[in-house]
Structure 1
Amino acid sequence: MNARDVIAEFCAATTAGDVEAVLETLAPDAELVSPLAGRAVFRGHDNLRVLFTALLPSLSDLDWRHLVHGSGTSVAVAQARVLGVRIGDAMVIEHNSDGRIRRLNPHVRPWLGLTLLAVILGPKLVRHPAVIRRAFQSS
Protein backbone atom coordinates (compact mmCIF):
# COMPACT_ATOMS: atom_id res chain seq x y z
CA MET A 1 0.00 0.00 0.00
CA ASN A 2 1.23 3.49 -0.89
CA ALA A 3 2.06 5.75 2.11
CA ARG A 4 0.52 8.77 0.36
CA ASP A 5 -2.77 6.91 0.00
CA VAL A 6 -2.68 5.77 3.62
CA ILE A 7 -2.05 9.31 4.87
CA ALA A 8 -4.90 10.62 2.69
CA GLU A 9 -7.16 7.88 4.09
CA PHE A 10 -6.09 8.78 7.65
CA CYS A 11 -6.90 12.45 7.07
CA ALA A 12 -10.28 11.62 5.52
CA ALA A 13 -11.13 9.22 8.35
CA THR A 14 -10.25 11.73 11.08
CA THR A 15 -12.24 14.45 9.30
CA ALA A 16 -15.23 12.11 9.12
CA GLY A 17 -14.78 11.07 12.77
CA ASP A 18 -14.56 7.42 11.68
CA VAL A 19 -12.44 5.70 14.33
CA GLU A 20 -12.50 2.28 12.66
CA ALA A 21 -11.32 3.78 9.36
CA VAL A 22 -8.53 5.57 11.25
CA LEU A 23 -7.42 2.26 12.75
CA GLU A 24 -7.33 0.64 9.29
CA THR A 25 -4.56 3.07 8.31
CA LEU A 26 -2.44 2.17 11.34
CA ALA A 27 0.04 -0.65 11.71
CA PRO A 28 -0.96 -3.08 14.51
CA ASP A 29 1.86 -1.74 16.71
CA ALA A 30 1.23 1.92 15.83
CA GLU A 31 1.79 4.56 18.47
CA LEU A 32 0.81 8.16 19.12
CA VAL A 33 3.02 10.43 21.21
CA SER A 34 0.82 12.57 23.43
CA PRO A 35 1.14 16.32 22.81
CA LEU A 36 -0.03 16.80 26.41
CA ALA A 37 2.58 14.66 28.14
CA GLY A 38 5.52 13.86 25.88
CA ARG A 39 6.43 10.72 27.75
CA ALA A 40 2.92 9.31 27.30
CA VAL A 41 2.71 7.13 24.21
CA PHE A 42 -0.51 5.36 23.24
CA ARG A 43 0.35 2.05 21.57
CA GLY A 44 -1.65 -0.53 19.63
CA HIS A 45 -5.12 -0.53 18.15
CA ASP A 46 -6.97 -1.12 21.43
CA ASN A 47 -5.43 1.89 23.18
CA LEU A 48 -5.60 4.07 20.06
CA ARG A 49 -9.29 3.18 19.61
CA VAL A 50 -9.98 4.58 23.09
CA LEU A 51 -7.94 7.71 22.36
CA PHE A 52 -9.49 8.45 18.95
CA THR A 53 -12.99 7.69 20.27
CA ALA A 54 -12.44 10.42 22.88
CA LEU A 55 -10.57 12.81 20.58
CA LEU A 56 -12.45 12.96 17.30
CA PRO A 57 -15.86 14.09 18.63
CA SER A 58 -14.03 16.85 20.55
CA LEU A 59 -12.87 18.49 17.31
CA SER A 60 -14.98 20.57 14.96
CA ASP A 61 -14.18 22.04 11.55
CA LEU A 62 -11.20 19.68 11.15
CA ASP A 63 -9.45 20.50 7.89
CA TRP A 64 -6.19 18.95 6.70
CA ARG A 65 -4.49 21.63 4.62
CA HIS A 66 -1.02 20.45 3.66
CA LEU A 67 0.65 17.11 3.19
CA VAL A 68 4.39 16.80 2.72
CA HIS A 69 5.85 13.36 2.00
CA GLY A 70 9.41 12.17 2.48
CA SER A 71 11.08 8.81 2.69
CA GLY A 72 9.42 7.02 5.59
CA THR A 73 7.99 10.23 7.06
CA SER A 74 5.15 12.58 6.16
CA VAL A 75 3.91 15.81 7.71
CA ALA A 76 0.23 16.67 7.70
CA VAL A 77 -0.93 20.13 8.76
CA ALA A 78 -4.46 20.66 10.03
CA GLN A 79 -6.70 23.22 11.63
CA ALA A 80 -9.72 22.52 13.81
CA ARG A 81 -11.68 23.98 16.69
CA VAL A 82 -12.01 22.85 20.28
CA LEU A 83 -14.88 24.50 22.14
CA GLY A 84 -14.81 27.20 19.45
CA VAL A 85 -11.09 27.92 19.86
CA ARG A 86 -8.94 27.38 16.78
CA ILE A 87 -6.08 24.90 17.08
CA GLY A 88 -3.41 23.91 14.62
CA ASP A 89 -1.50 20.68 14.29
CA ALA A 90 1.64 19.83 12.37
CA MET A 91 1.63 16.05 12.71
CA VAL A 92 4.79 14.12 11.91
CA ILE A 93 3.73 10.71 10.61
CA GLU A 94 6.16 7.83 10.27
CA HIS A 95 5.14 4.87 8.15
CA ASN A 96 6.44 1.35 7.83
CA SER A 97 7.56 -0.47 4.68
CA ASP A 98 4.01 -1.44 3.71
CA GLY A 99 2.88 2.19 3.95
CA ARG A 100 0.85 1.82 7.15
CA ILE A 101 1.25 4.45 9.84
CA ARG A 102 3.53 3.30 12.65
CA ARG A 103 3.97 6.53 14.65
CA LEU A 104 1.98 9.76 15.01
CA ASN A 105 3.68 12.71 16.65
CA PRO A 106 1.25 15.67 16.84
CA HIS A 107 2.49 19.21 17.47
CA VAL A 108 -0.60 21.13 18.60
CA ARG A 109 -0.81 24.87 19.15
CA PRO A 110 -1.71 27.37 20.57
CA TRP A 111 -1.48 26.71 24.27
CA LEU A 112 -5.13 27.67 24.93
CA GLY A 113 -6.43 25.17 22.37
CA LEU A 114 -4.17 22.44 23.71
CA THR A 115 -5.33 23.19 27.26
CA LEU A 116 -9.00 23.02 26.24
CA LEU A 117 -8.30 19.73 24.50
CA ALA A 118 -6.78 18.40 27.73
CA VAL A 119 -9.82 19.57 29.70
CA ILE A 120 -12.13 17.69 27.34
CA LEU A 121 -10.02 14.54 26.94
CA GLY A 122 -9.07 14.13 30.61
CA PRO A 123 -12.50 13.07 31.90
CA LYS A 124 -13.05 10.80 28.89
CA LEU A 125 -9.70 9.03 29.27
CA VAL A 126 -9.83 8.73 33.06
CA ARG A 127 -12.61 6.18 32.49
CA HIS A 128 -9.89 3.95 31.01
CA PRO A 129 -7.15 3.88 33.68
CA ALA A 130 -5.39 0.89 32.11
CA VAL A 131 -4.98 2.80 28.84
CA ILE A 132 -3.48 5.75 30.70
CA ARG A 133 -1.19 3.49 32.74
CA ARG A 134 0.06 1.73 29.60
CA ALA A 135 0.65 5.10 27.88
CA PHE A 136 3.07 6.08 30.65
CA GLN A 137 4.94 2.76 30.64
CA SER A 138 8.12 2.68 28.60
CA SER A 139 8.10 0.47 25.54
Structure 2
Amino acid sequence: MDAVSEADSYDETIAAWQAAGESGDALAAARCLADDVEVISPLTAQFRFRGRDQVVEMLGAAFDVISGIRFHTAVGTGYTRALFYHAHAGREEIEEAQLLRLDPAGLIHELTLFGRPMPGLAAVMADIGPRLLQRQGRPGLARVVNLATRPLAVITRLGERRLVPLADPDRVKPRWPRSQ
Protein backbone atom coordinates (compact mmCIF):
# COMPACT_ATOMS: atom_id res chain seq x y z
CA MET A 1 0.00 0.00 0.00
CA ASP A 2 1.44 3.42 -0.91
CA ALA A 3 1.66 6.27 1.62
CA VAL A 4 -1.34 8.16 0.22
CA SER A 5 -3.74 5.20 0.22
CA GLU A 6 -2.43 4.16 3.66
CA ALA A 7 -3.26 7.64 5.01
CA ASP A 8 -6.69 7.45 3.36
CA SER A 9 -7.41 4.09 5.03
CA TYR A 10 -6.40 5.55 8.41
CA ASP A 11 -8.72 8.53 7.92
CA GLU A 12 -11.56 6.27 6.75
CA THR A 13 -11.17 4.05 9.82
CA ILE A 14 -11.18 7.03 12.17
CA ALA A 15 -14.29 8.49 10.53
CA ALA A 16 -16.07 5.11 10.69
CA TRP A 17 -14.99 4.64 14.34
CA GLN A 18 -16.38 8.04 15.31
CA ALA A 19 -19.67 7.39 13.47
CA ALA A 20 -20.01 3.99 15.20
CA GLY A 21 -19.36 5.55 18.61
CA GLU A 22 -21.82 8.39 18.09
CA SER A 23 -24.52 5.94 16.97
CA GLY A 24 -23.66 3.39 19.70
CA ASP A 25 -23.15 0.64 17.12
CA ALA A 26 -20.73 -2.03 18.36
CA LEU A 27 -20.98 -4.04 15.13
CA ALA A 28 -20.04 -1.01 13.02
CA ALA A 29 -17.16 -0.33 15.43
CA ALA A 30 -16.03 -3.96 14.98
CA ARG A 31 -15.36 -3.30 11.30
CA CYS A 32 -12.67 -0.81 12.39
CA LEU A 33 -10.79 -3.36 14.53
CA ALA A 34 -7.88 -5.61 13.68
CA ASP A 35 -8.32 -9.28 14.62
CA ASP A 36 -5.61 -8.92 17.28
CA VAL A 37 -6.92 -5.63 18.74
CA GLU A 38 -6.15 -4.88 22.37
CA VAL A 39 -8.04 -2.43 24.59
CA ILE A 40 -6.44 -0.92 27.67
CA SER A 41 -9.20 0.13 30.06
CA PRO A 42 -9.26 3.27 32.21
CA LEU A 43 -11.00 1.25 34.92
CA THR A 44 -8.57 -1.57 35.67
CA ALA A 45 -4.98 -2.64 35.24
CA GLN A 46 -5.89 -6.25 36.11
CA PHE A 47 -6.60 -7.34 32.53
CA ARG A 48 -6.99 -6.12 28.96
CA PHE A 49 -9.58 -6.91 26.36
CA ARG A 50 -7.84 -8.87 23.59
CA GLY A 51 -9.14 -9.89 20.21
CA ARG A 52 -12.09 -8.60 18.23
CA ASP A 53 -14.68 -10.81 20.01
CA GLN A 54 -13.77 -9.61 23.53
CA VAL A 55 -13.56 -5.98 22.40
CA VAL A 56 -16.93 -6.08 20.61
CA GLU A 57 -18.53 -7.59 23.72
CA MET A 58 -16.99 -4.80 25.82
CA LEU A 59 -18.12 -2.14 23.32
CA GLY A 60 -21.68 -3.51 23.39
CA ALA A 61 -21.77 -3.16 27.17
CA ALA A 62 -20.12 0.28 26.97
CA PHE A 63 -22.71 1.52 24.49
CA ASP A 64 -25.44 0.29 26.85
CA VAL A 65 -23.91 2.41 29.63
CA ILE A 66 -22.54 5.45 27.78
CA SER A 67 -24.98 7.56 25.77
CA GLY A 68 -24.91 10.72 23.73
CA ILE A 69 -21.33 10.34 22.52
CA ARG A 70 -20.21 13.44 20.61
CA PHE A 71 -16.61 13.59 19.44
CA HIS A 72 -15.19 17.09 19.77
CA THR A 73 -11.47 16.78 19.03
CA ALA A 74 -9.28 14.57 16.86
CA VAL A 75 -5.51 14.92 16.69
CA GLY A 76 -2.69 12.99 15.12
CA THR A 77 -1.67 11.74 11.74
CA GLY A 78 -0.76 8.43 10.23
CA TYR A 79 -1.12 5.40 12.44
CA THR A 80 -1.39 7.22 15.81
CA ARG A 81 -4.50 9.24 16.64
CA ALA A 82 -6.20 10.67 19.70
CA LEU A 83 -9.94 11.26 19.87
CA PHE A 84 -11.94 13.01 22.56
CA TYR A 85 -15.68 12.97 23.24
CA HIS A 86 -18.32 14.12 25.70
CA ALA A 87 -21.16 11.80 26.75
CA HIS A 88 -23.23 10.64 29.72
CA ALA A 89 -23.20 7.56 31.93
CA GLY A 90 -26.67 7.70 33.41
CA ARG A 91 -26.94 11.21 34.84
CA GLU A 92 -23.18 11.69 35.08
CA GLU A 93 -21.24 13.62 32.46
CA ILE A 94 -18.10 11.98 31.14
CA GLU A 95 -15.30 12.89 28.81
CA GLU A 96 -13.15 10.19 27.28
CA ALA A 97 -9.84 10.36 25.49
CA GLN A 98 -8.92 7.51 23.18
CA LEU A 99 -5.39 6.81 21.99
CA LEU A 100 -5.65 4.71 18.83
CA ARG A 101 -2.82 2.89 17.11
CA LEU A 102 -3.62 1.55 13.66
CA ASP A 103 -1.95 -1.27 11.78
CA PRO A 104 -0.66 -1.03 8.18
CA ALA A 105 -4.08 -2.14 6.89
CA GLY A 106 -5.63 0.90 8.59
CA LEU A 107 -7.40 -1.04 11.35
CA ILE A 108 -7.26 -0.28 15.07
CA HIS A 109 -4.88 -2.70 16.76
CA GLU A 110 -4.50 -0.87 20.09
CA LEU A 111 -6.94 1.37 21.93
CA THR A 112 -6.07 3.00 25.24
CA LEU A 113 -8.93 4.73 27.04
CA PHE A 114 -8.76 7.58 29.56
CA GLY A 115 -11.76 9.15 31.29
CA ARG A 116 -12.89 11.96 33.55
CA PRO A 117 -14.39 13.17 35.85
CA MET A 118 -14.29 10.61 38.63
CA PRO A 119 -18.07 10.41 39.24
CA GLY A 120 -18.57 9.61 35.56
CA LEU A 121 -15.87 6.94 35.59
CA ALA A 122 -17.33 5.43 38.76
CA ALA A 123 -20.78 5.34 37.13
CA VAL A 124 -19.33 3.56 34.09
CA MET A 125 -17.51 1.08 36.33
CA ALA A 126 -20.62 0.37 38.40
CA ASP A 127 -22.67 -0.38 35.29
CA ILE A 128 -20.31 -1.90 32.75
CA GLY A 129 -18.84 -4.71 34.88
CA PRO A 130 -22.20 -6.26 35.77
CA ARG A 131 -23.39 -5.93 32.15
CA LEU A 132 -20.29 -7.68 30.84
CA LEU A 133 -20.70 -10.47 33.37
CA GLN A 134 -24.38 -10.87 32.46
CA ARG A 135 -23.38 -11.15 28.78
CA GLN A 136 -20.84 -13.82 29.78
CA GLY A 137 -23.57 -15.83 31.53
CA ARG A 138 -22.34 -15.10 35.07
CA PRO A 139 -25.33 -13.41 36.75
CA GLY A 140 -24.25 -14.26 40.33
CA LEU A 141 -20.89 -12.59 39.88
CA ALA A 142 -22.64 -9.67 38.15
CA ARG A 143 -24.68 -9.09 41.32
CA VAL A 144 -21.56 -9.25 43.51
CA VAL A 145 -19.68 -6.76 41.31
CA ASN A 146 -22.72 -4.49 41.28
CA LEU A 147 -22.87 -4.53 45.09
CA ALA A 148 -19.13 -3.88 45.33
CA THR A 149 -18.96 -1.00 42.84
CA ARG A 150 -22.22 0.86 43.49
CA PRO A 151 -21.00 2.48 46.77
CA LEU A 152 -17.99 3.99 44.97
CA ALA A 153 -20.29 5.55 42.39
CA VAL A 154 -22.47 7.05 45.15
CA ILE A 155 -19.50 8.31 47.19
CA THR A 156 -17.78 9.96 44.23
CA ARG A 157 -21.04 11.60 43.09
CA LEU A 158 -21.68 13.01 46.56
CA GLY A 159 -18.07 14.08 47.00
CA GLU A 160 -18.09 15.86 43.65
CA ARG A 161 -21.23 17.78 44.53
CA ARG A 162 -20.61 18.51 48.22
CA LEU A 163 -16.90 18.33 49.09
CA VAL A 164 -14.94 19.16 45.94
CA PRO A 165 -16.54 22.63 45.59
CA LEU A 166 -15.02 23.53 48.96
CA ALA A 167 -11.56 23.32 47.36
CA ASP A 168 -12.44 25.62 44.45
CA PRO A 169 -9.64 28.22 44.29
CA ASP A 170 -12.17 30.86 43.19
CA ARG A 171 -14.43 30.19 46.15
CA VAL A 172 -14.75 33.07 48.58
CA LYS A 173 -12.76 32.15 51.61
CA PRO A 174 -14.39 32.73 55.00
CA ARG A 175 -12.70 35.25 57.20
CA TRP A 176 -11.95 33.49 60.43
CA PRO A 177 -10.97 35.51 63.45
CA ARG A 178 -7.28 35.17 63.92
CA SER A 179 -5.97 34.64 67.38
CA GLN A 180 -2.81 36.44 68.15
What TM-score, normalized to structure 1?
0.87
Q: Which residue of 1 aligns with 2:157?
A: none
Rg bigger for which structure?
Answer: 2
Seq. identity, %: 27
CA distance in 1 between partners of 2:79 and 2:17 (Å): 16
- The alpha-carbon deviation at position 125 of structure 1 amounts to 1.5
Write out per-residue CA displacement over residues 56-106 of structure 1, whole angstroms, 9 at most, x where no aligned residue: 121122100111123321000111011121101111000011111001101
Mind listing any 5+ residue stretches in structure 1 that lack a counterpart? Answer: 131-139
Mind listing any 5+ residue stretches in structure 2 that lack a counterpart? Answer: 1-5, 139-180
1:111 aligned to which of 118, 127, 131 = 118
More helix by share: 2
Task: Report how many aligned residue pairs link the two structures.
Answer: 130
Amino acid across the alignment from 1:69 = G
Q: Which residue of 2 aligns with 1:80?
A: 87
Q: Which residue of 2 aligns with 1:69?
A: 76
Matches within 5 A, 1:1-139: 2-127=9-134, 128=136
CA distance in 1 between partners of 2:34 and 2:52 (Å): 8
Runs of 4 or more consecutive aligned structure 1 residues displaced over 6 Å after TM superposition? none
What TM-score, normalized to structure 2?
0.68
More strand by share: 1
Q: CA RMSD in A?
A: 1.6
Contact 1:33 1:39 in 2 (8 A): no
CA distance in 1 between partners of 2:47 and 2:93 (Å): 24
Amino acid across the alignment from 1:63 = R
